Structure 1
Amino acid sequence: MNDRKLGRPVPDWTPPPRPDRERLEGRLVRLEPLVADAHALALHDAFEGHDDLWDYMPYGPFTSGTAYHRWARQREAGDDPQFLVLVDQASGLPGGIASYLRITPEAGSIEVGHICIAPRMQRGAAATEAMFLMMDWAFHAGYRRYEWKCNALNLASRRAAQRLGFSFEGVFRNHLIVKGRNRDTAWFSVIDSEWPALQEAFRVWLDPTNFDAMGRQRERLSDLTRLVRAASDPALER
């Protein structure tokens, strides 16, 4: 039988478990399941005044803490997506939110999305560590494919995906209608065979010795992940 025509065999495949709202602990950040009463008002305070955070989201901006609490209450017990709150280890304050979604254990595929990081946590090591912790959980659980999708116009999200080691897979045209507007969707992924090298890249970058006394990085994560990526995003090279 010609495997080149039929695909590589995947012997003894066992679907991985679904995420179970477990807490993920890092040095700089912890991720804990969204609980509206515990997190919503603090998250709203962190997001308030930055309506651009919601430009590419299918919801928001939120006019009040009450409105955001209502949104969080509707989603805190959801099975897919499953929302996690990024809590700064030093201050104990929530600084962002993300989720696992399109969870497909039978195919070994899972996506990260609904990422919203407050300005105080943006461009910091804690947000990067959070993305590492979520990816690390997925591959240790046995997932084969970890996805990132975003509006193709959202160049900041496309840059973030590439920096984190995701490989560009293309753009799905006329993929969705969001807030009454067309959305072309850029697709990225990391697969299990790439994870050991990416895991080491994250560990090198997150090591405290990679930062000087002012917190400035010595090595860039994008430099460490570049050799692992199977394909780069051409939109970022223009």
Structure 2
Amino acid sequence: MVFQNEYGQSLGKPAEGWVTRSLPEKVTLKGNYCIVCPLSVDHAEDLYHDWLSIDDERDWTYLSDSKPGSKELCYQYLGHLCSDKNRLYFSVKDASDGSVKGLFCVNEVEPDNGIFALSEINWSPVMKRTRLSTESLFLVISYFMDTLQYRRCEWRTNCLNAPAISAAERIGFRKEGILRDRKITKGYSEDVAVFSITASDWPEVSAVLKAWLRKENFDERGRQIQKIADFRS
């Protein structure tokens, strides 16, 4: 539906009752399988071993940073991330043993518009394609959408990053388009794909993810019984 002002100009739908939202806090979010908590320098102890389990940098190709080459550099790297005043970095712990399996960032937070973005998603090899990865993102999106009442979550990635695009679409993000020549990363120009979940999308996306994440949907080895797509209408 198109709305018009007193001059006959077309406008978007009214944002009735809208007020500036609160800034996010460094919260700890607990799920069935993982715990999302503020990134700490001492998380380098776990992450270093997982990152070094692969002896090349293929998992870092589309990230802004390069893999630390030693434990000391890993501690320095996490210290640098923790000191960033413009971004919130979170770690993902395995709820079964408390070990840190990955990290990600929340940035581009706009309380006036109710917008936030996920970025720099960096899962260790053992966390990829597991319920921990899905639940961790569900928890943080739910924190913003349900607790803080934000209205838009963005996910931007290199348009050639097929695994990230597949993950975004699997969770329920909708592709909006391509920002051509948007970034230069490690000497290469990037076309950036933009995905989003809005407040109007979230109730359905949330219901699907909650259904998929039920303990009954996984066998004794943690393998899914039904896919996320099976829960979509």
* Same-fold call, TM cutoff 0.5: yes
Contact 1:25 1:31 in 2 (8 A): yes
Aligned partner of 1:196 in structure 2 is: 203
Aligned partner of 2:135 in structure 1 is: 129
Cα displacement string for residues 176-204 of structure 1 (whole angstroms, at most 9, x for unaligned residues): 11111101000000000111111110111
Contact 1:164 1:222 in 2 (8 A): no
Aligned partner of 1:12 in structure 2 is: 17
Q: What is the Cα deviation at residue 210 of structure 1?
A: 1.1
Q: What is the Cα deviation at residue 49 of structure 1?
A: 3.9
Contact 1:80 1:100 in 2 (8 A): no
Query: Amino acid of the residue matched to residue 156 of structure 1?
Result: P
Q: Distance in 1 between matches of 2:88 and 2:222?
A: 32
Secondary structure of the 1:193 match is coil
Matched, 1:150 2:160: no
Cα displacement string for residues 93-132 of structure 1 (whole angstroms, at most 9, x for unaligned residues): 1000011111111111100111111111111111111010
Q: What is the Cα deviation at residue 159 of structure 1?
A: 0.2
- In structure 1, the gaps of 5 or more residues are 228-238
Over the aligned positions, Cα root-mean-square deviation in angstroms equals 1.5
Q: What is the Cα deviation at residue 41 of structure 1?
A: 2.4
Q: Distance in 2 between matches of 1:85 and 1:222?
A: 27
Q: Distance in 2 between matches of 1:46 and 1:72?
A: 14
Distance 1:164 1:170, change over 3 A: same
Q: Distance in 1 between matches of 2:21 and 2:86?
A: 15
Matches within 5 A, 1:41-190: 41-50=45-54, 51-140=57-146, 141-190=148-197
Secondary structure of the 2:23 match is coil
Aligned partner of 1:230 in structure 2 is: none
Consecutive aligned runs of 4 or more in structure 1 exceeding 2 Å deviation: 77-80, 212-216, 222-225
Query: Amino acid of the residue matched to residue 148 of structure 1?
Result: W
Contact 2:64 2:120 in 1 (8 A): no
Q: Distance in 1 between matches of 2:107 and 2:230?
A: 28
Moved more, 174-183 or 78-87: 78-87
Moved more, 49-58 or 127-136: 49-58
Identical columns (%): 28
- In structure 2, the gaps of 5 or more residues are none
Query: Which of 1, 4, 21 is residue 2 of structure 1 equivalent to?
Result: 4
Distance 1:144 1:6, change over 3 A: same
Cα displacement string for residues 142-201 of structure 1 (whole angstroms, at most 9, x for unaligned residues): 111000000011011000000010000011110011111101000000000111111110
Equivalenced residue count is 225
TM-score (norm 1): 0.90
TM-score (norm 2): 0.92
Aligned partner of 2:216 in structure 1 is: 209
Aligned partner of 2:36 in structure 1 is: 31
Q: Distance in 1 between matches of 2:11 and 2:46?
A: 51
